[in-house]
Amino acid sequence: MINSEADNRTENNAVRHKYRTLTDQEKAQMVAIKDLGAAFLAKCDEIGTSRELAIAKTNAEQAVMWAVKHVTA
């Protein structure tokens, strides 16, 4: 497994043909976004299960994906 903030993340690429090396600031931003998303998902798991929570979790995952794409694009 390759950490998402590692420079060698470019070796594990299914869609993009080229990646660029991230700055230390960009790596920190990406990790912070993912940590916030993980905290939200964990809180959702703590409070129960429902269709509404499943939708909330899906949308949180999508929000994290797009925010990380902004940082890494």
pLDDT (tens digit, 9 = 90+) per residue, 33-54? 999 999 999 999 999 999 999 9
Q: Measured between alpha carbons, how far is 67 from 61 in angstroms, rounded to an integer?
A: 10
- Is position 43 within any domain? yes
Cβ burial of 8 (10 Å; 0-12, 13-18, 19+) is exposed
Asked if residue 3 is part of any domain, the answer here is no
Total domains, the chain: 1
Residue 31 lies in a domain: yes
Boundaries of domain holding 61: 22-72
| Residues 17, 24: Cα–Cα separation, whole Å | 22
Q: pLDDT class for 16, splitting at 50, 70, 90?
A: low
**pLDDT above 80 for 12:** no
Query: Is the pLDDT at 19 greater than 80, yes or no?
Result: no
pLDDT score at 25: 97
Residue 13 domain-assigned? no
Q: Is residue 61 part of a domain?
A: yes
Global pTM exceeds 0.85: no
